[in-house]
Amino acid sequence: MFATMGALGLAPTAEAAQRDQPFRALKPGDFTLTGRGAAKVVIVGGGIAGLASAYELGKAGYDCTVLEARDRTGGRNFTLRGGDSTTDLYGNTQTARFTDGQYMNAGPARIPQWMVTLDYCRELGVPIEVFTNVNADAYIFNQKSGMKQPERYRTAKADVYGYVSELLAKATDRGALDKELTVADRERLVEFLKDWGELGDTLTYEGGERRGYSVVPAAAGTPGVLLGDIPTASEVFASGVGRYFSFEFGFDQAMLMFQPVGGMDRIPHALTKAVGTHRIRTGAVVSDITDKGSGVAVTYTQGGRTKVIDADYCIAAMPPNILAKVQHNLGSGVQRALEAITPSSAAKIGLEYRSRWWELDHNIYGGITETDQDVTHIWHPSYGFHGERGVLIGYYNYDDDADAYAKLTPGEREKRAVAAGVKIYGEQYRTELASSFSHHWRQTPHLEAAWHDTPGGPDDPRYQPLNRPTGRVYFAGDWLSYTDAWQHGAFTSARKAVTALHARVLSS
Ligand code: PHE
């Protein structure tokens, strides 16, 4: 009967967990007629994958317990507000001094429209607002490439698109593409390029209003003054500004993007509330996962006491680099797979300013300034426009740059980040600063990574012991998805694990 229900789509089957199947939320009703009951599940890790697992299993009445090593749920989804404190693995303790209403998202901070993260925001009642990922008025400053001063995105784009269009149009016009294109194709291509690059009749790029104005157009009598000093094609290519423009074409980075109103951690807060705080143990550091055949025993230490929790199943939703240090009897295949996945560094510094000088003096409302200095990305806040104060992200950098800053004291990090910003925005970047807070993921206890490198991708055969249950233990996390470093990966991986677990409970 169960198989028939499955075939009719009335009960989840093992097949339901297969490729490209839409997720179907579990229901208490799934158990009617099967004579089975919801099982007890211990979930190791209270980040997005762990919370989502508990939340989805809870819909069908599973008895879930979440063990979280940190003193808060959310994992790498971490928002800092005034009063929040951290101590990194180098021993630096910081307390954020942001004023009321100001915050920084130290981890995830932007959500594309196609990711299930937004579905969870809708379902959980977490309000969202636009996150500005690209802004024509933000700057580009490539100091190493010899740029003398920052340039607005719009100016850089006009020049790059202009010259590329000019070169391709001229090449086409001179017959360089005669083998590839028909006469009609060539005419259409040149027509497109004239528009795309704002070319003149001689197919030459001569600048134009897309570059921007030094005096903006206004009332009659003020037609505006175009920005002067149009660089040559050679200068434009040498500046390297073009390297930033494909970013916004990315499937995961294209506008519009969104953020929860009030901070990204509104998502784990809502999940935590939905799961029930009585089901979540924080400060619980797991040391052992033993599959006993008939159940799973998880050993953890909380408040100096070591405890064991027994359950029917376990979902291991910790980062792989941390899980690899936990004792288990899941076999060398699991251990080898965990160790093949390597942790990566990323970091951010939040700079609170006494005024929103980037809006007042630069007319920049949200968006990202790009630079080849080691701060890499500077983010303008996408909330609190026209307010009194605001928090800029003074660096969002990765790998060696993040590690180099991590080795400095928080005060030195601030000094170095501010020095880089002053080169782009001027002295206000220093004089208006009220306080700062820096966060480095590789040096964060119990996480020790911003995201992970999974050689060969998550479906590489070596990760098979993680992509299917090993005994009674399931694995979940963004690191087992095609969207590593996105909450979407954690959510979809959790959905996959609970779907498989539920199908097994129903058929066992
Ligand atoms: N999701 C993170 C971000 O948007 C990390 C990431 C960056 C992932 C770029 C993919 C591409 O910053």
Three-class SS string for 429-462? HHHCEEEEEEEEHHHCCCCCCCEEECCCCCCCHH
Ligand 1 neighbourhood includes 368 CB (under 6 angstroms): no
Question: From the alpha carbon of 250, which atom of ligand 1 is closest?
Answer: 11
Cα 485 to middle of ligand 1, angstroms:
6
Cα pseudo-dihedral 179, 243, 489, 270, rounded to 10: -140
**Alpha carbon of residue 382 to chain centroid:** 15
Residue bearing the CA closest to ligand 1, atom 2: 485
Question: Which ligand 1 atom minimizes the distance to the CA of 346?
Answer: 5
Note whether 488 and 253 are within 8 A (CB). no
Position of tokens 């539920």?
A: 502
Please answer whether residues 498 and 53 qualify as being in contact, where contact means their C-beta atoms are separated by less than 8 angstroms: yes
Q: Is 377 touching ligand 1 by the criterion CB < 6 Å? A: no
Compute, in angstroms, the gap from residue 476 CA to the centroid of ligand 1: 19
Helices and strands per DSSP (H, E), number in the chain = 15, 27
What is the C-alpha to C-alpha distance for residues 317 and 331, in angstroms, rounded to an integer? 18
Of all helices (H) and strands (E), which one includes residue 79? Answer: strand 79-81
What is the per-residue pLDDT for 21? Answer: 84
| CA of residue 218 to ligand 1 center, whole Å | 39
Pairing, β 327-328 against β 284-291: parallel
Atom of ligand 1 nearest to the CA of 484: 8
* Pocket residue to mutate for ligand 1, from 48, 486, 487, 491, most atoms within 8 A of Cβ: 486
For ligand 1, the distance from its centroid to the CA atom of residue 493, given in whole angstroms, is: 17
Rounded to whole angstroms, how far apart are CA atoms 317 and 65? 12
Provide the pLDDT for residue 5: 54
pLDDT for 7:
45
CA 316 – ligand 1 centroid, Å: 24
Our CA angle for 491, 318, 38, nearest 5°, is: 65
Q: Measuring from atom 12 of ligand 1, which residue has the nearest CA?
A: 108
Q: Is the CB of 110 under 6 A from ligand 1?
A: yes
Q: Which H helix or E strand runs over 390?
A: strand 390-398
CA angle 190/193/198 to nearest 5° reads: 125
Ligand 1 atom 8: the closest Cα is on which residue?
Answer: 485
**CA 451 to ligand 1 center in whole angstroms:** 9
Distance from the CA of 246 to the center of ligand 1, in angstroms?
A: 14
Number of other CB atoms surrounding residue 360 within 10 Å: 11
Rounded to the nearest whole angstrom, what is the distance from the C-alpha of residue 191 to the centroid of ligand 1? Answer: 36
φ/ψ of 446, rounded to 5, equals 70, 0
C-alpha atoms less than 13 angstroms from C-alpha of 324 in its C-beta half-sphere: 15
Are the CB atoms for 358 and 366 separated by under 8 Å?
no
Q: Which atom of ligand 1 is nearest to the CA of 486?
A: 1
Sign of CA dihedral 330, 332, 335, 337: negative
Q: Is 486 in the pocket of ligand 1 (CB under 6 A)?
A: yes
Q: How many residues does the chain have?
A: 508
Query: Cα of 486 to ligand 1 centre, how many Å?
Result: 7
Whole-number pLDDT of residue 459: 98
Mutate to test the pocket of ligand 1, among 115, 133, 252 (most ligand atoms within 8 A of CB): 252
**pTM attached to this predicted model:** 0.95
Nearest residue by C-alpha to atom 6 in ligand 1:
485
Distance in angstroms (rounded) separating the CA atoms of residues 188 and 182: 10
For 459-488, letters b (16+ CB in 10 Å) and e give eeeebebbbebbbbbbbbbbbbbebbbbbb
User: Does the CB atom of residue 485 touch ligand 1 within 6 A?
Assistant: yes
User: Within 8-80, where are the H helices?
Assistant: 48-59
Ligand 1 centre to CA of 503 (Å) is: 33
Q: What is the largest CA-CA distance in the chain?
A: 85
- Cα distance between residue 21 and residue 30, in whole Å: 18
Q: Within 13 Å of residue 410, how many CA atoms lie on the same side as its CB?
A: 21
What's the gap in Å between 381 CA and the centre of ligand 1?
17
Backbone angles phi, psi at 371, to 5 degrees: -150, 150
Check the CA dihedral 209-211-217-223 and report its sign: negative
Tokens 């501010």 belong to residue: 418
CB 408 within 8 A of CB 126: no
Determine the Cα–Cα distance for residues 76 and 87; give it in Å rounded to an integer.
15
The rounded Å distance from CA 357 to ligand 1 centre is 27
Q: Which two tokens stand for residue 488?
A: 């979407």
The two beta strands, 451-453 and 79-81, are unpaired
Nearest residue (by CA) to ligand 1, atom 5, is 485
Nearest-angstrom CA–CA distance, 214 and 236: 20
Within 311-406, residue ranges assigned H as helices are: 320-323, 332-340, 357-360, 399-406
Q: Is 252 in the pocket of ligand 1 (CB under 6 A)?
A: yes
Nearest CA to ligand 1 atom 4: 110
Tell me which of 110, 249, 253 to substitute to probe ligand 1's pocket, judged by most ligand atoms within 8 Å of the beta carbon.
253
pLDDT (tens digit, 0 to 9) for every residue of the chain, 508 residues total?
A: 555 455 445 555 554 446 788 999 999 999 998 999 999 999 999 999 999 999 999 999 999 999 999 999 999 999 999 999 999 999 999 999 999 999 999 999 999 999 999 999 999 999 999 999 999 999 999 999 999 999 999 999 999 999 999 999 999 999 999 999 999 999 999 999 999 999 999 999 999 999 999 999 999 999 999 998 899 999 999 999 999 999 999 999 999 999 999 999 999 999 999 999 999 999 999 999 999 999 999 999 999 999 999 999 999 999 999 999 999 999 999 999 999 999 999 999 999 999 999 999 999 999 999 999 999 999 999 999 999 999 999 999 999 999 999 999 999 999 999 999 999 999 999 999 999 999 999 999 999 999 999 999 999 999 999 999 999 999 999 999 999 999 999 999 999 999 999 999 999 8
Residue 250 CA to ligand 1 centre (angstroms)? 10
**What is the C-alpha to C-alpha distance for residues 428 and 434, in angstroms, rounded to an integer?**
11
For residue 451, the ligand 1 atom closest to its alpha carbon is: 5
Ligand 1, residue 396: give the atom nearest the CA: 12
Whether 226 and 206 have beta carbons less than 8 Å apart is answered as no
Indicate the DSSP class of residue 199. B
